[in-house]
Amino acid sequence: MDAVPRHHFLPERIWLDDGEGGYEFCDQHSDAERWYTAAYADAPVVTQVNDGAEPEESDVWASSSASAPSIVLRMLEDLDVHDGAHVLEIGAGTGWNAGLLAHRVGEANVTTLEIDGAVAARARTALHNAGLYPEVVCADGEKGWPPQAAYDRIICTCSVRRVPHAWVKQSRPGGVIVTAWDNPWITYGLLRLEVNAGVGEGRFSPHSAFMLMRDQRTDLRIYRDVVRDEHQPDESRTGLAPWDVTGPDIDAQFAIGVRLRDVWYSRQQNPDVKGVLTRLWVATTDATSWAAVDYDGEHDDQFTVWQHGPRRLWDEVETASRWWRDHDRPTPARFGITVTAEEQRFWLDDPGSPLDG
């Protein structure tokens, strides 16, 4: 990494974690010490917000970033490139990762794709200023890049919910695909696939979170987009605490996410409902079913549940949580996926044990 310094690839304007779940602006010229500290910290740096639009002060969200150096290194280790390997990168971002790859395998062997034209142009400039000239293409990475196929290695630096079969199709036999993973329940995990006979297969590993591929950003994440005044939910009780499935136990969250791949949750503090301190909302990505679980602030073993729609979502969450406990609380590393032209099949421990079987 010393041969390709990270700070050469960061824009003058960056956004840093404000410690309260948001971001604050940092300029290289007006706050150089803080900017350089961020450039060499082992932490992500947000390099674009709101897809490049000028943000409102109260509505700033990250849309492009430089990943933490330790995560970049981990993904490159998983990629396991060799001299002269032909590499496709999905998500050029700052260009730093492409620069590291170009330094390792030769710039003529690296193609990097970026869907955002402004981000692609900035990455290309940063690479050229560093004396590196891999091919930088403004294109939708979900489709891969057929003109330079087939590839020995494909790496995706944004997270995906489904692995495009185009990547498998454009890989050489024995090729490797490394990508960050995401599902509506939790953004977490890396996935390493080996490709043979048109099939990609491999396991997850428990590392970090990345921004979702733009064409896969489809969630509703606000309960007001799902709940309607005319809905008449069914009331019940549960002993499963909301924090047991949405709290700090990443293993539990990951397992529920791979079991319920179209379900998301959102917490609401002080929902202005008598006797309710916090409410957990759970809903399907198509907004046809939802559930709410209320905590009164006093009782940790019983909670009120409201459910609406064709699916009893909290019942499904309880079933997924029970499945996880019954299978010895598997970590992400015990899960895997098989990607074919027809489907993505999730499994536990080995491909012969599909989750949906």
Q: What is the pLDDT of residues 218-248, one digit of tens each?
A: 555 566 678 888 899 999 999 999 999 999 9
Give the span between the Cα atoms of 188 and 198, in whole angstroms.
Answer: 26
Instruction: In the chain, list all ranges with CATH 3.40.50.150.
Output: 69-216
- Per-residue model confidence as pLDDT tens digits over 81-95: 999 999 999 999 999
Decide: 109 and 84 in contact? Cβ < 8 Å: yes
DSSP code, position 280: E
24 confidence band (pLDDT: 50, 70, 90): confident
Q: Residue 320 has what DSSP assignment?
A: H
C-alpha separations of 109 from 57, 60, 112 in Å: 42, 37, 10
pLDDT computed for residue 328 by the predictor: 97
CATH number, domain 223-326, options 3.30.160, 1.10.357, 3.20.20, 1.10.510: 3.30.160
- Candidates 339, 183, 178, 203; CA nearest to 259 is 183
**309 phi, psi to nearest 5 deg:** 110, 175
Residue extent(s) of CATH 3.30.160 domains in the chain = 223-326
52: left (phi over 0), alpha (psi -120 to 50) or beta: left
Question: How do beta strands 62-66 and 87-90 pair?
Answer: unpaired
Predicted pLDDT of residue 333: 96
**CA-to-CA distance for 156 and 195, rounded, in angstroms?**
15
Identify whether the C-beta of residue 243 lies closer than 8 Å to the C-beta of residue 277: no
Give the position of tokens 């979170």.
209
69-216: CATH architecture? 3-Layer(aba) Sandwich (3.40)
pLDDT in tens, 157-215: 988 999 999 999 999 999 999 999 988 999 888 999 999 999 999 999 977 666 655 55
Which are the catalytic amino acids?
Answer: 67
Nearest to 5 by CA among 87, 80, 100: 100
The type of residue at 16 is L
Asked if residue 63 lies in contact with residue 48, where contact means CB atoms within 8 angstroms, the answer is yes
Range with the lowest mean pLDDT among 238-252, 260-274, 289-303? 260-274
- Taking the CA atoms of residue 207, residue 213, residue 216 and residue 218 in that order, the dihedral angle to the nearest 10 degrees is 90
